[in-house]
Chains A and B, each alone.
Chain A
Amino acid sequence: MSTLEIDRVRKTYGNLEVLKEVSISIGTGDFLVLLGPSGCGKSTLLNMIAGLENISGGEVRIAGKIVNELSPKDRDIAMVFQSYALYPTMTVRQNIEFGMKIRGVPPAQRDKAVRAAADLLQIIHLLDRKPSQLSGGQRQRVAMGRAIVREPKLFLFDEPLSNLDAKLRVDMRTEIKRLHARLGTTIVYVTHDQIEAMTLATRVAVMKGGVVQQLDDPQTVYDRPANVYVAKFVGSPSMNIIPGKIEVEGGSATAVIDMANRQAVRIPGIHLSSQAASKYAGRKVLIGIRPEMFSVGNGQAQGAISIEVDVVEPTGADTLAVFQLGGVEVTARLPPKQVNARASATLAVDRSKVVLFDPDSEELIN
C-alpha cells in the first residue's frame, strides 16, 4: 500500500511524443483508472510505472521514493496483463509461485501464499492444471493470483477484462472491486471502457493523445467534465453538446438556444461564477446537457422545451428520445412510454446540472 506520484512524465519514441508531461498523484488505497481511447498512451504510462519502459522525462515516485532507475522487480509492484501472460508450460501453482521462487521464499511459505490466494480467488481446484486447460475467466483469476501473492505496494492492471465476454466482464469487475475493498492496496487500472472506470475508480484520469484531460473522482468527471472531449467520452449515451449563448440579467444567467423556425429555448437559472458571468455575458457557449437531465414537463413551466421527437429507442428501463435542438441531434433519457416518435413533446431540464463550455477552447466554464 502506498502513494503514487507521476510528475511531469514524458515518453518519446524517437521523434514521436507519446506522453506529454503527464502528472498524476494518488493516495494510499486509491483505485486510479487511466481511461482513454486506444493508442492514447495508457499502456505506455502503466509500463513506465512498472519499469518495463524507460522514462524519457519527469519522475515516478512510489511511496515517496523515486523509482525511475529501478528495475521492475525492485519497485514492489505486481501486474496483470491483457493477455494474462500466464507461463504456458507451467501449472497454475507454478505460475503463481514463480515470482516467490525467484525471490527465494521457502517452500512452506510459498505453499501457504498460493493456498491463500487460490482460496480468495476460488481456484484451489485448478492448481494442477495448465493454462491451456482453463477458460478465459479462470486464466484471469490465475493472473490475479500471481499478482496477489506478491503482496505489492501497487497493483497494475492493463485492460484485464477486455478479453472476456460481456457477462463475465461484469462479474469480474465486481470481483476486482471486492478484491480492492478486501486488500486495500493502491491500484492503477488501464481501460478504454468508461463504465469500468466509473464503477471501479476512486480517481479517474481521462487521457487523450498522451495528455491527461482531467483527473478527478468519477462523479466529478461525470458531472463537471473538464472539457467537451471528456464530456463526450464519459457516459452513455454521451452528453449532448448544444451551441447556444448566455444572457446575464441582474446576476442570473440564462442559456439561450436558437431554434430554426420557432421561438428560442431559454433555460434560466444557470450556475455561473460572477467572473464567468461577466466574461461570457452575451457570448456564444456550448451547453452540455446529459440525457437524463431531461424530463417530461408541462407546457406552462419556465424553461420548458417544445420539441418534435424523431426516434424513440426503448431500452427497457427507460426510453431514449432523439430530437433536434439548436441545430444538433440531442438524446434524452425518459421514463418508458412518455413520448412517441414523430410527435411533439414538452421537456424540462434539470438546470442545476447544466454545464457550459467555451466554444473556442472547449474547456469547462466555471
Chain B
Amino acid sequence: MANALAQHKPIDEALPRKTRIRFGRLLIYGPLCAMAALYLMPLWVMVVTSLKPLDEIYSGSFIGLPQTITLDAWRAAWSEACIGTECTGLKPYFANSLLMVIPAVVLSTGIGAINGYILTKWRFPGANLVFGLLLFGCFLPYQAILIPMARTLGLLGLAGSIPGLVFVHVAYGICFTTLFFRNFFVSLPDELTKAAMVDGAGFFRIFWSVILPTSIPIIVVSCIWQFTQIWNDFLFGVSFTSGGNSPMTVALNNIVNVTTGRKQYNVDMAAAMIAAIPTLLVYIVAGRYFVRGLTAGAVKG
C-alpha cells in the first residue's frame, strides 16, 4: 500500500500542473462543444437558408454559407407570403399573437399571484382541496379540454376571437402560475402578514406593499413560463380561431403547408425564425432571473 503510493507520486508530479489542468479542461469542453454544435445545427441551417436566394438552395447544399446574402425571404415572410388566399405575410398574425400573449400573460400571472397569496396567507376551510384541484389542472392534457372549451367559448360569445384565446390561455395557465406563487409564498413567514395587519393594512394593501415586492423572481418565472407556453401554442390557436384571428403559430403552419409550386424553403425558414425570436429575446433578457427565481425558495428576509 505504502509502496503503491510512493510509486504513484513521482508519476503524478511528472506532469506539470498546467498541462494536467488543460487536459482536464479539454475533456470537459470537447464534449460540451460537440453537444452545443449538435443542438445549434438546426438553427444554423435555418439562418443560412433564410439568407439564401431560392435558386441557390435548390442547386447547393443546405448547410453551406450563402454565396449571395439576401433579405428577400425575410421580407416575404414578414409582409408578402400568402396565407390561404391572403398574401399579407406574417405581420398581422404576429400582431395577433402579441394581442393574445400580453393580456394572457399579465392576467394569468396576476391571478396566480392572488391565488397563491390567498392559499398561503388567508387560508380558508378547504384551501388544500382547492389547491389540489388546481394542481390536477396542470396535468390535464390539452386535447381533453378542446370540446368543452369550444362549447364554453360559444356560450360566452368569444368563439373564434382573440379574447377567446386569451380566456383559454388564462384558464389553462392559472394552474401553473398558482403553483409557482403558492410555493413561493409558503416560504414567507405568516408573521409578516400579521405584522402588516397590526399596522392597519388590509388584504390588497398587504398584497401590494408587502408580498408582491418580495416576489419579483417568481413573477419573472411565471411570465417567462407563460409567455413561452402561450406564444408557442398551436393547438388552442388552431382549434379556437380561424382566418384573420389566428396567432402566429397557425399562420406559420399555413405558410409552410399551403405553398403551391416550388417549396420556398428560405421563406419558411425566415418565417420560423420570426416566430421564434420573441421567446429567444425573453430568455436572453430575463433568463438570469428565471434561474434565480426557480431556486428562490431560499430567499431570506
| A98 sits at the interface (CB 8 A) | yes
Shortest A150–chain B CB gap in Å is 8
Q: How far is the CA of A146 from the CA of B195 in the complex (A)?
A: 10
Task: Name A73's closest neighbour in chain B (CB-CB).
Answer: B200
> DSSP class of B's interface residues: helix, strand, loop or mixed?
helix
Is B301 in contact with A72, judged by CB distance below 8 angstroms? no
Q: State the 6 A-B residue pairs at the shortest beta-carbon distance, nearest first.
A: A99-B199, A73-B200, A88-B301, A89-B213, A85-B191, A85-B195
Residues of chain A within 8 A of B192, CB atoms compared = 85, 87-88
Beyond A73-B197, A88-B301, A131-B301, list 13 extra A-B contacts (CB 8 Å): A71-B197, A73-B198, A79-B194, A79-B195, A81-B195, A82-B191, A86-B195, A89-B214, A90-B213, A102-B199, A102-B200, A132-B301, A150-B199
Task: Name A94's closest neighbour in chain B (CB-CB).
Answer: B209
Is A72 in contact with B198, judged by CB distance below 8 angstroms? yes
| 14 chain-A/chain-B pairs, Cβ below 8 angstroms | A51-B197, A71-B197, A72-B200, A79-B194, A81-B195, A85-B195, A90-B213, A98-B196, A98-B201, A102-B199, A102-B201, A132-B301, A146-B195, A146-B199
Residue pairs across A and B with CB atoms within 8 Å: the count is 65
Shortest A114–chain B CB gap in Å is 14
Which of A52, A83, A86, A87 is the one whose CB lies under 8 Å from B197?
Answer: A52
Is A98 in contact with B209, judged by CB distance below 8 angstroms? yes
Shortest B22–chain A CB gap in Å is 41
| Interface size bracket, A side | 20 to 34
| A125 sits at the interface (CB 8 A) | no
**Residue from the set A77, A79, A85 with the largest chain B CB neighbour count within 10 Å:** A85
Q: Which residues of A from 147 to 166 have beta carbons under 8 Å from B?
A: 150
Task: Name A86's closest neighbour in chain B (CB-CB).
Answer: B301
**Residue from the set A50, A89, A146, A150 with the largest chain B CB neighbour count within 10 Å:** A89
B residues apposed to A, CB below 8 Å = 189, 191-192, 194-201, 205, 209-210, 213-214, 300-301
| A103 sits at the interface (CB 8 A) | yes
Is A78 in contact with B198, judged by CB distance below 8 angstroms? yes
Residues of chain A within 8 A of B205, CB atoms compared = 102
Is B214 in contact with A88, judged by CB distance below 8 angstroms? yes
Residues of chain B within 8 A of A99, CB atoms compared = 198-200
Is A103 in contact with B200, judged by CB distance below 8 angstroms? yes
Q: How far is the CA of A102 from the CA of B199 in the complex (A)?
A: 8
Which of B198, B209, B210, B300 is the one whose CB lies under 8 Å from A52?
Answer: B198
**Residue from the set A51, A77, A81 with the largest chain B CB neighbour count within 10 Å:** A81
Task: Name B215's closest neighbour in chain A (CB-CB).
Answer: A89
Q: How far is the CA of A33 from the CA of B275 in the complex (A)?
A: 66
Q: How far is the CA of A86 from the CA of B300 in the complex (A)?
A: 11
Q: How far is the CA of A51 from the CA of B201 in the complex (A)?
A: 13
Q: How far is the CA of A98 from the CA of B205 in the complex (A)?
A: 11
Residues of chain B within 8 A of A90, CB atoms compared = 213
Task: Name B194's closest neighbour in chain A (CB-CB).
Answer: A52
Q: How far is the CA of A131 from the CA of B300 in the complex (A)?
A: 10
Residues of chain A within 8 A of B195, CB atoms compared = 79, 81, 85-87, 146
Q: How far is the CA of A99 from the CA of B199 in the complex (A)?
A: 4
Residues of chain B within 8 A of A103, CB atoms compared = 200
Shortest B223–chain A CB gap in Å is 19
Which of A85, A88, A132 is the one whose CB lies under 8 Å from B194?
Answer: A85
Residues of chain B within 8 A of A82, CB atoms compared = 191
Shortest B202–chain A CB gap in Å is 8
Residues of chain A within 8 A of B194, CB atoms compared = 47, 50, 52, 79, 81, 85
Is A50 in contact with B198, judged by CB distance below 8 angstroms? yes
Q: How far is the CA of A47 from the CA of B194 in the complex (A)?
A: 9
Shortest B292–chain A CB gap in Å is 16
Q: Which residues of A from 55 to 106 have beta carbons under 8 Å from B?
A: 71-73, 77-79, 81-83, 85-90, 98-99, 102-103
